[in-house]
Amino acid sequence: MVMERQKLRPRGSAARKQEEWSAPSVSTENESRKRGILESLEMDNFQADPHAEFTWHKSIPHKLSTGFNVQAPSSRIPPRKICFICGNTSRYTCPKCGIQHCSLECNELHKDTRSKWSYLQ
């Protein structure tokens, strides 16, 4: 009697990895379908503004200043220093990394959480 070798299926997490690897990728199909739908919606919703080149009156300038192109002059006083940890006004600055803090509690919290590679250069 000759023993035939059976192809054994991997056990444990190796079997799950193999099943995941061989499963069809449904998420990529869904993503591509969503992307196509969004692109078609953007093409359908794109409309040119009919009043963009329309001048209401000769004395009114064509391009009025809006909130996006108005600029305020720079301030005469320096900007406020704000604590990076809690948001209060800060009085102190970390000598190693330059982060501003307001109290000893914020300083201790900063020392615990800062990266040892974040130094001023």
pLDDT in tens, 61-96: 666 666 677 778 888 999 999 999 999 999 999 888
Number of domains in the chain: 1
Question: What residues form DSSP beta bridges with 89?
Answer: 82
Across 11-30, average pLDDT = 61
Tokens of 113: 């959480």
Report the C-alpha gap between 36 and 41 in whole angstroms. Answer: 9
Distance of CA 106 to the CA centre of its chain: 26
Tell me if 19 is assigned to some domain.
no
Q: Nearest 5°: phi and psi at 11?
A: -105, 160
**Domain hosting residue 89, numbered range:** 79-112
Q: Does 63 map to a domain?
A: no
Residue 103's pLDDT is what? Answer: 93
Give the SS3 label for residue 89. Answer: strand
> How far is residue 23 from each of residues 7, 19, 20, 27, 102, measured CA to CA in Å?
20, 6, 5, 11, 55
Categorize the per-residue pLDDT at 105 as very low, low, confident or very high, splitting at 50, 70 and 90: very high
Structural domain contains residue 71: no
Distance CA 59, CA 42 (A): 37
